[in-house]
Structure 1
């Protein structure tokens, strides 16, 4: 996950050679409250935009630009916290929560497993399937592991309408976090393609007893391996193995690697080509 939190601390001693706009931005940070919330919000956006222009024109340094951006986003975080306490939220604050959202990276390809979420903005109920006795403390959007900027989910089912973020739990070290996308029907996997060469996922068919409520795993199907996907796009996995093996043996003859290193490299190559196209521990 990528958490949205300004990392750099505001220095206790402010340099005297700062521009007046940066000083004004820092003044807002120190004086924002419930009563001047809207005024501070609009002023901060104005000063941020003006400082970016000054930076482009070479009139402020990169260090000052970084200080100003950090102060601006700290103000936005404070504004967002104060907005949560308002009985009526003015329109100008709409979208602020999503702008400050964390990014949770899911081990999926949206284009393979939920193509309608990308293509027609279909809303699927998405929720954690464990830690249900804990209240979620983070608001996030979901990004897949493709390199495509459209590989994300940023519209979610809400009680009456839709929302731009999904309440999720804080991730725990060395513990998997599982989400379920529900009501996807029978067509998402069949519509999916090999975008970024991420293949079919593992599939488990489950039967649930209506009497006892117990479930039984009926069938398990392994997803595509790297070798499978390479063959779909007209590569010969065995030819790739043979070519890589010849290069490794030539490297041994030329004393670039040792025989032990050759064995280790070939083992890693074989594990990779036989492995799953998604992230594996």
Structure 2
């Protein structure tokens, strides 16, 4: 979520709505947080309407968005320390949650989560010595708006978010879903044409564990064959087009070879991000 720098101070050159939001942010307290929340929403709605009509510029719109989410975040923090929370503020955690996009298909790997709202234990499997500081929901990489996990087991209760660590740029972040079993794999379908994932068979014993077998997931070529496309024919057709383009001096031989190589690599690679 966007947020405003804590050192920000609105000046006379800033729009009145920016100054109003800044004042709310500066004076925020548990006593006034519900009223402040309503005021912040009203100001944001007014700003959106003014922006649509070209009355305020993009910079002002960005300032208002940043201030609005900063106020929302602070109210969310205040709510956590209250015994009695107004109903309107109970959903703030869900509203404030980040979206973590994960390299999987919900419909292929966790169909019961989508189909019958089955709850699975989910947690990060690295950085376990660090306290999670983000609240997030998990989204998959399909183009379906239902491709997300909407309920989690958290602190012995069901919640709409999962505590996770902030993502470090350039690093992988692994999250495990447990108690899935073979049943989900059998139920999984070709929704959005994502195939089977890689699988590993592991035996756990008194001395630790052993990897008994690794099974490669389906490739893009495998999935295309399910819908009656011939991968070899696709490659031959591409080679014909590239050959023609080289003869017509539209691309060089090196460019043609690189294009075909990249195409083959993708075609016979995983349906998931590599």
With normalisation by structure 2, the TM-score equals: 0.90
Q: Aligned partners of 1:38, 1:12: CA distance in 2, in Å? A: 23
String of CA shifts for 1:162-205, please: whole Å, max 9, x gaps: 01111111223433221111112322111111222111101111
2:229 is the counterpart of 1:235: yes
2:99 is the counterpart of 1:112: no
Partner of 1:252: 246
Gap regions ≥5 residues in structure 2:
none
String of CA shifts for 1:31-51, please: whole Å, max 9, x gaps: 212332222112212332344
Retained in 1: the 8 A contact 2:137–2:150?
yes
* Per-residue deviation, 1:7: 6.2
- Count residues in correspondence: 274
Partner of 1:93: 89
Partner of 2:26: 30
Cα 1:27–1:173 shift into 2, 3 Å: closer
Q: Aligned partners of 1:138, 1:17: CA distance in 2, in Å? A: 31
Q: Aligned partners of 1:7, 1:150: CA distance in 2, in Å? A: 31
Cα 1:55–1:270 shift into 2, 3 Å: closer
* Deviates further, 152-161 or 101-110: 152-161
- 1:77 aligned to which of 73, 76, 98: 73
2:45 is the counterpart of 1:49: yes
Cα 1:10–1:256 shift into 2, 3 Å: farther
After the TM superposition, which parts of structure 1 deviate over 6 Å for at least 4 consecutive aligned residues? 7-11
With normalisation by structure 1, the TM-score equals: 0.88
Partner of 2:255: 261
Q: Aligned partners of 1:64, 1:193: CA distance in 2, in Å? A: 46
> Equivalent residue of 1:189, what SS?
helix
Cα 1:213–1:34 shift into 2, 3 Å: farther
* Per-residue deviation, 1:143: 0.8
